[in-house]
Amino acid sequence: MIDGNRNSDKICLNCLACVEVCPEKLLPNYLYAMARKKAIDQLVDSCLMECSECGNCSRICTSELPLKEVFQEMKALIADLS
């Protein structure tokens, strides 16, 4: 959740484990940083909408960040704005 306090004390360590398991060849670490900033243009430019929501990034995340959930929320927001 972007606005809630869930995992708000945890940060991305940039270990890049999520990048290695992304079947869409996206950069989940970067997408997460942009989602936290609600940087819609950067998320669109970085192909967030191509995320298959497989959850690989969330499962491997050493910081236990809710990546898939955050990406789903941001994709819904982008769709609503379109």
* CA angle centred on 62, ends 60 and 68, rounded to 5°: 50
Q: CA neighbours within 13 Å on the CB side: how many for 2? A: 17
The pLDDT assigned to 5 comes to 47
The pLDDT assigned to 2 comes to 57
Read out DSSP for 4-71? S-TTTT-------HHHHH-TT---HHHHHHHHHHT-HHHHHHTTGGG-----HHHHH-TT---HHHHH
The pLDDT assigned to 10 comes to 83
The pLDDT assigned to 53 comes to 98
> pTM for this structure?
0.88
**Running along the chain, 82 residues long, what does each successive block of 10 average in pLDDT?**
56 97 98 96 97 98 97 97 88
| Sequence ranges of the domains in the chain | 17-81
